[in-house]
Amino acid sequence: MQVSFGEAIRLATVQVMEADSGAFVYGEGINDPGGFFGTTVGLIDQFGEDRCFDVPNSEECLTGFAVGASLLGAHPLFVNLRADFLLLAMNQIVNHAAKWPTMSGGQCNVPIVIRAIVGREWGQAAQHSGAYHALFAHVPGIDVLVPSTVKNAAGLLISAFQSERPSIMFESKLLYTLNDDLSLPIQPLPIGKGEIVREGTDLTMIAVSEQVHFAGQVADDLAKKGIQAEVLDLQCVQPIDSELIIESVAKTRRVAVFDIGWTGFGLSSEVARIVCESGAGPLRSRMISSGQERQHTPASCFREYEHYPLLDKVVTQLVESMG
Amino acid sequence: MQVSFGEAIRLATVQVMEADSGAFVYGEGINDPGGFFGTTVGLIDQFGEDRCFDVPNSEECLTGFAVGASLLGAHPLFVNLRADFLLLAMNQIVNHAAKWPTMSGGQCNVPIVIRAIVGREWGQAAQHSGAYHALFAHVPGIDVLVPSTVKNAAGLLISAFQSERPSIMFESKLLYTLNDDLSLPIQPLPIGKGEIVREGTDLTMIAVSEQVHFAGQVADDLAKKGIQAEVLDLQCVQPIDSELIIESVAKTRRVAVFDIGWTGFGLSSEVARIVCESGAGPLRSRMISSGQERQHTPASCFREYEHYPLLDKVVTQLVESMG
Amino acid sequence: MELNRELLLDLYSSMLTARFVDERIVDEYNNRNIRGPVHLSIGQEGIASGVLTSCRVTDCVVSTHRCHAHYLAKGGDMPEMVDELYGLPTGCCRGNGGSMHLFDRKVNMWGASAVLGGSIPLACGLAHSLKRKGDDICVAFIGDGGTDEGVFYEALNLTATLGLPVLFVVENNQLSTLTPLSKRQAQPDIAAKVRGFGIESVDVDGNDVIEVYSRAARLIASVRRDSAPRVLVANTHRLCAHVGPVIYQLGGIGGDDELEMKLGREPLNTFVTYVRDNCPGLLDAMDRRKCEILAAVDSAFAGAKERFAAQLAQTNLPAPPPPEPSRV
Amino acid sequence: MELNRELLLDLYSSMLTARFVDERIVDEYNNRNIRGPVHLSIGQEGIASGVLTSCRVTDCVVSTHRCHAHYLAKGGDMPEMVDELYGLPTGCCRGNGGSMHLFDRKVNMWGASAVLGGSIPLACGLAHSLKRKGDDICVAFIGDGGTDEGVFYEALNLTATLGLPVLFVVENNQLSTLTPLSKRQAQPDIAAKVRGFGIESVDVDGNDVIEVYSRAARLIASVRRDSAPRVLVANTHRLCAHVGPVIYQLGGIGGDDELEMKLGREPLNTFVTYVRDNCPGLLDAMDRRKCEILAAVDSAFAGAKERFAAQLAQTNLPAPPPPEPSRV
Ligand SMILES: Cc1ncc(C[n+]2csc(CCOP(=O)(O)OP(=O)(O)O)c2C)c(N)n1
Ligand SMILES: Cc1ncc(C[n+]2csc(CCOP(=O)(O)OP(=O)(O)O)c2C)c(N)n1
Ligand SMILES: [Mg+2]
Ligand SMILES: [Mg+2]
């Protein structure tokens, strides 16, 4: 069945809700006909207001609400229109969702799922374009998912629901234009496992979310220049698939990271740590980190364009770094 | 003059408040006779309730309050008894304080200072021991200070007040036992500059906050084994002194990081990125990252003891990594 | 409250400027060169104009994602706003802010947050600084959706406790995107909640600019006098999509009858009716103002479009993405 | 409300257990083997005991940094609590929680947050899950300091809007560390604020366990019936330091007269006076209970201290740091 990225998420949600009466979904404006990029369309009709409901704009309380509900075995999904709004709920996510299982000495789990859309294009500007997965990946106890395809978005969402730990799934707005085959029932994907999406020997390119597709373009361009890049799609940044990274870098002894967020204290940094601690290498070339420029996203289309990685620029940078 | 760490912070605050009538200080329970480890004692008496005042427990609003006041030229200092409480103010710090200057196209600055104490020892447990500097260091537009001594705490605080950017200073509770000479008037220290606190050729140990002292002990032990470690005190993690790091690592071609927080997606990661991107090296040994265990701090004294780096363990780890 | 000719003309001009700018945005939006989300003020201009016409230029303002009318009524530079929408370096925020983050320091418009409730704490701080210097005040606009957020109640308590000169203006269009207030607040009387915090709070018909002006003027005078906060809850209707270039429609919310009722009570119509009934001698002057404003809007958009085209020619910007459905 | 013998004895035992445990903590604290901050419940036990004695074991509870009395009154395992204070693996949280985070799933004590207001949203979610299963409810304790936080108001609105069976209990000791309520809330009538949200709210003398019990029982019955939230504001006095082993002192807050007044009205004293005046026949049974509780507390501490010593002997834990000044 050919479905869109949004539809895949919707189907995964439906599959879980049909199987598990403890699963429910809520979000601010969830009744919107647009249905959060199609991901929540029809849920109310199918499951009733009891299991899919609109809520006041109160992110902090709504996040802790999920935690509380999950303590008694429910599987809540809190949908956020932008990842930027998670910052209002940081105290509940970090100080409560992530810590309650430990603080209680193992007396509880917190099987909640949070979805958050990462804005890009069409003037999202500084407060609607945040890709904050690194913040959550820093904190023990939270699984952080960054799907890149119709298939892995659906599979990861199923796994997040099945997990006993809190999960946050970051969805780049650009991915909603994707369409692909999806067979039902959707199979869960292992959380914390990446995938080699293109094999190569000269350079390991580690990517997440929509940057997996960008990395693919970069690899195409490099191939034309005789450079064979291996592209890894991490799918999760916490747990992160260190093994896959180390194995690939041990082979290529070059590494580049393609992130949707800022590079400093981010995914690039973490990949570098994994590499340096592993003793894989030593690297033959300088590492290249690609992501949002280290500034706040400008609204202007002219400026936004340059705020995100540009194909030619990245290819040149990579070629230069390889000497 | 011999002063304590807390007194040094107090003296820096007084010095700024005397020179700048726009500087003011507030915090929840600031009137407490303990005076936030002595750092705010007597400010009300000296400057009046107008410039040093107690406030309701409303971290989010109080943080934006600082931002707003600073737009009109004030220099507010918001003191937080624990860094964990900053998570309630994340939206104001990240989405507003850090972004307002850019979003306005340069029409404003946000010269606010936030102080936050990092708990440790005596059963602080999971919600009072957070060292969240890495979260803020990820975000452009915020200076993140992590002093280690009487002198640099005082100097950095003066600089933070003078800066036109928002600054957050993380103060490890362990440091309050320090005493050292401090000469008045306190001189500002450059923000973003680290310091070599011990020279060596075999290994670069990069540390912040109280871990600078721990790293010193490690270096002592290593010296007994004939290993000469160079110890860098970063003092700031954002901006981070890449130049200093690269220069030292280029010399020693070994690196270890001593952080007060978790290592993943943290300072260790960022140091690794700086090293990998610089082409300094290649490293002769696996990098070692030392910090809080990847779990939430247990309350128990038995368990907490093992949650933080232990001298013997780290020394052994380093020696082993060096082959 | 003396409503002299000049004041009436100012209120009218202020509303009409916001209206014409927003209508022109709609006209231009299909060209896909205003490349960003637009949250129009259409139907709600009476609040911005009524409140801010009674302010000094030295009073400060902060706003929300729906900030066009606030920026303009505070005296923000109109051509710079239009340039900002086009993403130009000559925009009020040099292209960094866009429609949701209008800012004009010259007139003490201190910005707008697209995070609900986000600018409310800033208002508290601005007021603190103002209080230390004189009797200027800060006006903080917030939507009814913003009053779901806890920070609004923190701010009520903080301003009441520290004595901070803030006038909170709740633009109550009873909608947060498509979610009605009644689905979000079991007790939908926002003013009653505010009074629980010991703060004077007044409801007003936000579609009647004259009533808004006079209520606001009285409240602002009180805030100036005693440096204590006040809250004005202005009830209004959003006559446009939540976001996007769809105007004079209600979407799923209400049918034709309701639309007709709301159009009949929209602030410009209400105002013109008032003038026709009470001071028809003003109509000529109003027409002249209308022409002037139209000309100014024409000129601002013409200039911006020209500069946009010139800028575009210098870059290899890809074609804009296809339009997303508006959220009515 | 029928106050039979058993009930009176239960209320007494419940308060006395909390009191004796806290007093014993003070006695032991100087040995520096309870290595963590302690926020004692002394003076405030009437609230925990009154409210939770009127709950079912299947009702859920969440609490704050000052959670000793809540844990015990909900039926939390006392020896496991003492072990937890000593950081032992046999503690209720296996040594992970400590004094501020007591948790006993067996009796539906779902934990305590040391972040002000932090457990309040959890109560909303617990109540949501309970509502889907039956008529159990959730009790959420919060201090007056916690009601400064915006999340409290978000929770009031959320529970009222979704119809969630939560009884919020505000323990109003008028202090947040040393900052009085009057310095933090210009309008200090918390119940009035709550009513602004359309929620029934009742003030009660928290030092009178019988009054707390009967008010709470009525409110809980209402919450069960209609799945709508209620708020009980229980006024009380903290007869100990904010944190640390200092008891029966007021610190900077008030002089000797005030202390005497407050000691006279503390809940155990109030209760004993009531019994003496109204049902002196109970006094003997109370004495027996007292002996039993003392013995249980003795045994819990003796066991914990033994296990602590054994554990300590197996480690090379450094000596504890010197005491910090208590914040009275
Ligand atoms: C913290 C946060 N949550 C959610 C949103 C998404 N959002 C944008 S506008 C809006 C509706 C706001 O309603 P209201 O405050 O009444 O303003 P109006 O659009 O009616 O003018 C919502 C929910 C947001 N911007 N910020
Ligand atoms: C979010 C947050 N801010 C500040 C603190 C520091 N703090 C700990 S207890 C306390 C006082 C709380 O007062 P109240 O809620 O009335 O509880 P009480 O101690 O009186 O029982 C404060 C300010 C905190 N723990 N969490
Ligand atoms: Mg609205
Ligand atoms: Mg209190």
**Tens of each residue's pLDDT in chain A, 323 residues:** 899 999 999 999 999 999 999 999 999 999 888 899 999 999 999 999 999 999 999 999 999 999 999 999 999 999 999 999 999 999 999 999 999 999 999 999 999 999 999 999 999 999 999 999 999 999 999 999 999 999 999 999 999 999 999 999 999 999 999 999 999 999 999 999 999 999 999 999 999 999 999 999 999 999 999 999 999 999 999 999 999 999 999 999 999 999 999 999 999 999 999 999 998 768 999 999 999 999 999 999 999 999 999 999 999 999 999 98
Taking CB atoms and an 8 Å limit, are D36 and B28 in contact across chains?
no
What pLDDT is attached to residue D328? 54
Minimal Cα–Cα distance from B180 to chain A, Å? 32
Q: How many CB atoms lie within 10 A of CB A73?
A: 13
Residues in chain C: 328
- pLDDT, residue D1, reads 45
Cβ <8 Å between D100 and B127: yes
- Asked whether A92 and B91 are in contact (CB, 8 A), the reply is no
The minimal CB distance from A104 to the residues D93, D129, D158 is found for D93
Q: Tokens in use for A55?
A: 């809520």
CA D176 to centroid of ligand 2, rounded, Å: 6
Percentage of chain D with pLDDT > 90? Answer: 92
User: With an 8 Å Cβ cutoff, are A299 and C98 in contact?
Assistant: yes
Q: Any bridge partners for residue D112, and if so which? A: D63
**What separation in Å is there between the alpha carbon of D204 and the centre of ligand 4?**
15
pLDDT of res. C159: 99
With a 6 Å cutoff on the Cβ, whether C66 touches ligand 1 is: yes
The protein residue with its alpha carbon nearest to ligand 2, atom 25, reads: D115
- Residue B31 pLDDT: 84
Rg of chain C over Cα atoms, rounded to whole angstroms, equals 19
Our answer on whether the CB atom of A258 is closer than 6 Å to any ligand 1 atom is no
Partners of A71 on chain D (C-beta within 8 Å) are 110, 122, 125-126, 129
Average pLDDT over residues D161-166: 98
CA of A60 to the centre of ligand 4 (A): 22
Q: What does the pLDDT read at residue A32?
A: 86
- Region C220-241: mean pLDDT is 97
Which residues in B246-260 are b (16+ Cβ under 10 Å) and which e?
bbbbeebbbbbbbbb
Question: Which residues are paired to B199 by β-bridges?
Answer: none
- Average pLDDT (B67-90) is 98
End-to-end CA distance of chain B: 46
Ligand 1 atom with the smallest distance to the CA of B91 is: 1
3-class state of residue B116 by DSSP = strand
Confidence (pLDDT) at B240: 98
- Average pLDDT across chain D, whole number: 96
Mutate to test the interface with B, among D179, D182, D315, D328 (most CBs of B within 10 A): D179
Alpha-carbon distance D133 to nearest alpha carbon in chain A (angstroms): 10
Query: Is ipTM over 0.95?
Result: yes
Average model confidence (pLDDT) across chain B: 97
Nearest chain C residue (CA) to B64: C121
Cα A310 to chain centroid, rounded: 21
Residue D327 confidence (pLDDT): 60
Query: Which residues fall within 8 angstroms of residue D273, CB to CB, at 6 or more apart?
Result: none
What are the residues whose beta carbons fall under 8 Å from the beta carbon of A45, sequence distance 6 or more?
none
CB B38 within 8 A of CB B4: yes
Tens digit of pLDDT for each residue in B92-123? 999 999 999 999 999 999 999 999 999 999 99
A 10 A CB-CB count for B294 gives 11
What are the tens digits of pLDDT across the range C182-207?
A: 999 999 999 999 999 999 999 999 99
Tokens of B18: 């005397």
C-beta atoms of B276 and A264 within 8 A: no
Nearest CA in chain C to D195: C196
Whether D24 and D299 have beta carbons less than 8 Å apart is answered as no
Residues 6+ apart with CB under 8 A from A13: A25, A39, A40, A43, A77, A157
Contact D116 CB / ligand 2 (< 6 Å): yes
Per-residue pLDDT at D324 exceeds 80: no
Residue D185 and residue D179 in contact, taking contact as beta carbons nearer than 8 Å = no
Question: What residue ranges in D23-133 does DSSP mark as E strands?
Answer: 60-63, 109-112
* Average pLDDT of the residues in C86-91: 98
The CB of A118 under 6 Å from ligand 1? The reply is no
Q: Which of B31, B122, B128 sits opposite D35 (nearest CB)?
A: B122
Query: Higher-confidence residue: C2 or D195?
Result: D195
Please give the pLDDT value at position D254: 73
* A29 in C contact zone (CB under 8 Å): yes
Orientation angle between helical segments C5-29 and C209-226, nearest 10 degrees: 110
Tokens 């309630």, residue located:
B88
Distance of CA D2 to the CA centre of its chain: 24
From A32's Cα to the closest Cα of chain C, the distance in A is 6
Give the closest-approach CA distance of A256 to chain C in angstroms.
26
C131 pocket-lining for ligand 1 (C-beta < 6 Å)? no
Whether B213 shows a pLDDT value over 80: the answer reads: yes
Task: Give A 73-92 residues with CB within 8 A of chain D.
Answer: 73-74, 76, 91-92
Which of D38, D65, D142 most suits a substitution to test ligand 2, by most atoms within 8 Å of the C-beta?
A: D65
* pLDDT per position as a tens digit, B174-197: 999 999 999 999 999 999 999 999
For residue C24, is it left (φ>0), alpha (ψ between -120 and 50) or beta?
alpha
What whole-number distance in Å separates Cα of residue B290 and Cα of residue D328? 37
User: Rounded to an integer, what distance in angstroms lies between the CA atom of residue A95 and that of residue D116?
Assistant: 11
**What ligand has the least distance to the C-alpha of A60?**
1
pLDDT in tens, D69-85: 999 999 999 999 999 99
Would you say the C-alpha torsion D113, D116, D121, D123 has a positive or negative sign? positive
- Residues with Cβ within 8 Å of C273's Cβ and at least 6 positions away in sequence, in order, are none
pLDDT at D255 (0 to 100): 80
CB atoms within 10 A of CB C14: 24
Q: Is 60 exceeded by the pLDDT of residue B278?
A: yes
Q: Binning pLDDT at 50, 70 and 90, where does residue C327 land?
A: low
In this prediction the pTM is 0.98
Interface C:D, Cβ pairs < 8 A: 65
- C151 and B60: CB-CB below 8 Å? yes
Is A85 a pocket residue for ligand 1 (Cβ < 6 Å)? Answer: yes
Name subunits touching A (3+ CB pairs < 8 A).
B, C, D
User: Taking the alpha carbons of D283, D288, D292, D298 in that order, is the dihedral positive or negative?
Assistant: positive
Which residues of A are identified as catalytic?
128
Distance from CA of D286 to the nearest CA of C (A): 43
One-letter amino acid at B90 equals M
Q: Which tokens go with D128?
A: 């949501």
Q: Which of C131, C78, C43 is nearest to C292 (CA)?
A: C78
A interface test, pick of B208, B265, B295 with most A CB neighbours within 10 Å: B265
The pLDDT score that the predictor gives to residue D253 is 66
Mutate to test the interface with D, among A53, A107, A108, A114 (most CBs of D within 10 A): A107
Which stretches of chain B are assigned E, i.e. beta strand? 2-4, 23-27, 52-54, 75-80, 113-118, 143-145, 167-172, 179-181, 195-198, 203-207, 229-233, 236-238, 255-262, 288-292
Residues D192-227 pLDDT 10s: 999 999 999 999 999 999 999 999 999 999 999 999
